[in-house]
Amino acid sequence: MRIIPVLLLLLIFSCTATSQQVSIIPKPLSLTVKPGRFLLTANTPLIAATAGEEAGAKIFNEYLQQYYGFSLPISTSQNGGNKGIVLRTRNFIKAPDKDAYQLSVNQNGVSIEGDTHAGTFYGLQTLLQLLPVDKHQGDISIPLVQVQDAPRFDYRGMHLDVARHFFPISFVKKYIDYIALHKMNYFHWHLTDDQGWRIEIKKYPRLVEVGAYRDGTIIGHYPGKGNDQIRYGGYYTQEEIKEIVRYAAQRHITVVPEIEMPGHALAALTSYPNLGCPGTGPYQVAQTWGVFDDVFCAGNDSTFLFLQDVLDEVLPLFPSPYIHVGGDECPKENWIHCPRCQQRIKKEGLKDEHELQSYFIQRMEKYVNSKGRTIIGWDEILEGGLAPNAMVMSWRGEAGGIAAAKQKHQVIMTPGSHCYLDHSQSTQEDSVTFGGFTPVEKVYAYEPIPKELNAEQAKYIIGAQSNLWTEYIAYPLKVEYQIFPRMSAMSEVLWSAKGQRNWPEFEKRMQTQYKRYELWGANYSNAYFEIKAAIAPTKDNSGLLLQLESKDRQATVQYGISGLHFAKNYTAPVLIQQSGEVTALVNRNGKIIDSTTIKFRFNKATGKKVSLSEQPAPNYPGSGAFTLVDGVINEKGMDRTKEFIGYNGKTITATIDLGSPQDISEVRLHTLFASGSWIYPPQEMEVQVSTDGKTYQRMGSARELLAKDPVKGYLGVVIDAPVQARFVRVKAQAVQKIAEHMAGAGQKAWMFLDEIEVL
């Protein structure tokens, strides 16, 4: 973590009123805008005295040429005083803010001075954001500014999974360009997994001849609606890897490769079956998602020799100080039954298979350390004992990162709740995503340093990272759709001082950033402008009120009940008192920007008073208790997890007041089943009723999920002889421990609850 010099802190609030005209993301420490403009022409010299400065100048010129149709003459000497764009690098290697820079624009020219070449490069990225956000022909007018800036965190990362879906090097370079434009400095490249091995290893050619290809891919959301049976794959040659690493280094980005071990190894095992435990197999490169029992055999010395050989070819390709070894989601089922693994446990004096995994990682760490590198592992490497020098990447919330920091290990925070960009960012997502709901404002609100750490422990949090897993992302356009605008939000989380961050002010700057995406030709999500629909009960609990809103201030929100033939402009909450559909849209000057249809299904509990014995998890709050009686039943499964309330391993009770005694013949609790995401239906649902709210009578229980869809359905209790009652109590008990061979084995299951229907 950076310690910001006092001088810079004093400058933070030096912005003038006119600085609002300038939109820079991530927000700099200090920005002052002065009257006047500097005119940038094709004849403006770009002065770069060192090789590092010249490399940055060439990249700046490439941007100018691509988007504005001209480039500047680069010179190594300054003959015209301060005229032109002058780059200077001080190279204060031991400075507190080694990547700090100063940018000054006056009427005669531009001066950028960096503490390092990276700092100078970041100054150039800021200068790019002073240029027009539309393709421009001719001279460019630049505002006069003074900027002093430095990053908050050392590690500012973006991740890309190329194992589930493969992306060509042309797009990987484009992805790196996006990282550079946001002043981020680490690219985590996920190269191997169950679904594909993507890096050439010359000693083991079958890794790409066999492991880089699968014979089909599931259709739709896991567990899928069939298989396309289309051979799919690809890999990067070592020369292509070198090309990417060079390209990134020119932009001051370190490429961190990930070679998964001991789990997520099916592609490798399919290529070399001898690396699996005896009696397992035959193997095939995975055609579906999730977690598989087939992992590297920890009792076989050949496994370690193989991985050492792989690393012997990987390490020279990547000069990164860090090598990611995975370590996540490793089922122990095969190890339990493997005589070689059990012999290893006995020989090494290990307690169980969790300590065997720790042995595996520690053994590989020693080898990596012997080559002068440090390993990074997902937070599962804490289980069974943390390797002595390992860095932890905390993804299952922040607990792993907190534990590692308290043990004085460096940590990169990347909790799924805020940092997983494969989650939906729209409440009305119409494409297949992993699920979850992580809008741009949630990403922006993330604070990488947990409050549980004191000042000394906080020093071990070196940064954070956004992750993009690509199970449901097969094309570059979908990658762009998933990362923008959330990548911009994360860049500010990691670069800007904590006290600088301000969501309303960031929203204003984002209006320019959206236009910048259009300049780049990036396929960004417009979820920010979508219709936000909120449902509330009427005061007398006799119906529902539908509230509609869009942040597009140039547009009109319109709606129609059961069709748009009689569309009305939205001016006040819409009263809903029966089943039906409401279609709403955002109309900007006759162009439909967004639309959504909400299906209401009324029952005796809809809109009634409801209470919970325990509030849902902060990550999955839904609309609180009212989620259970809002009249809307989830139809999109994991793509709309915002429509559920979530609990982790809890038993909860919901009590509904129907307002008056009603005949009750059946009670249904709608829920979700997505084992790959650790989400299970309640292991039991119990229904009780009462006439006075004090004495309750048990009506029955249910354990079976009734579903036409593999991921969503309901548990229902049918009452043989209908009863009259005013109060209905539904008790739901979550699965306490996920089975050993499943994703999240040994963990408490998540339980997602939707509508309670009283029929």
Q: What is the pLDDT of residue 15?
A: 37
Calpha distance 105→581 (Å, rounded): 56
Least confident of 77-86, 353-362, 580-589: 77-86
Does 12 score more than 50 pLDDT?
A: no
Helix or strand (DSSP H, E) at 611: strand 609-612
CA-closest candidate to residue 501, choices 454, 581, 425, 509: 509
**What stretches of 372-485 show up as alpha helix (H) in DSSP?**
399-406, 416-419, 440-444, 455-458, 476-483
Least confident of 38-42, 339-343, 445-449, 641-645: 641-645
Give me the DSSP letters along 151-203.
Answer: -S-SEEEEEEE-SSS---HHHHHHHHHHHHHTT--EEEEE-EETTEE-B--TT
Does 13 score more than 60 pLDDT?
A: no
Give mean pLDDT, residues 471-484: 98
Instruction: Work out the pLDDT band at 8, boundaries 50, 70, 90.
Output: very low
Cβ atoms of 149 and 120 within 8 Å: the answer is: no
Pairing relation of β-strands 651-672 and 622-625? unpaired
Domains 155-522 and 609-758 share a fold: no
* Those residues with Cβ within 8 angstroms of residue 42's Cβ, 6 or more apart along the chain or in another chain: 70, 71, 72, 139
Cβ atoms of 198 and 234 within 8 Å: the answer is: yes
CATH number of 609-758: 2.60.120.1190
Q: What is the pLDDT of residue 490?
A: 99
Does 336 score more than 80 pLDDT?
A: yes
Q: Is 329 a catalytic residue?
A: yes
CATH number of 530-600: 2.60.40
For residues 501 and 594, the model is more confident at 501
Does 11 score more than 70 pLDDT?
A: no
- pTM as predicted: 0.85
Does 6 score more than 50 pLDDT?
A: no
Does 664 score more than 60 pLDDT?
A: yes
pLDDT tens readout for residues 505-549 = 999 999 999 999 999 999 999 899 889 899 999 999 999 999 999
Per-domain residue ranges of the chain: 6-149, 155-522, 530-600, 609-758
Give mean pLDDT, residues 300-309: 98
Q: What average pLDDT does the structure give for the chain?
A: 92
Instruction: Work out the pLDDT band at 398, boundaries 50, 70, 90.
Output: very high
Does 310 score more than 70 pLDDT?
A: yes
For 155-522, which CATH superfamily applies?
Answer: Glycosidases (3.20.20.80)
pLDDT tens readout for residues 35-86 = 999 999 999 999 999 999 999 999 999 999 999 999 999 998 866 555 799 9
Calpha distance 316→626 (Å, rounded): 57
Q: What is the pLDDT of residue 94?
A: 60
pLDDT tens readout for residues 127-176 = 999 999 988 778 999 999 999 999 999 999 999 999 999 999 999 999 99
Does 4 score more than 50 pLDDT?
A: no
User: Considering 113, 329, 429, 757, which one is annotated as catalytic?
Assistant: 329
Q: What is the pLDDT of residue 59?
A: 98
Helix or strand (DSSP H, E) at 757: strand 750-758
pLDDT tens readout for residues 216-266 = 999 998 888 899 999 999 999 999 999 999 999 999 999 999 999 999 999
Give percent of the chain with pLDDT exceeding 70.
95
For 6-149, which CATH superfamily applies?
Answer: Chitobiase/beta-hexosaminidase domain 2-like (3.30.379.10)
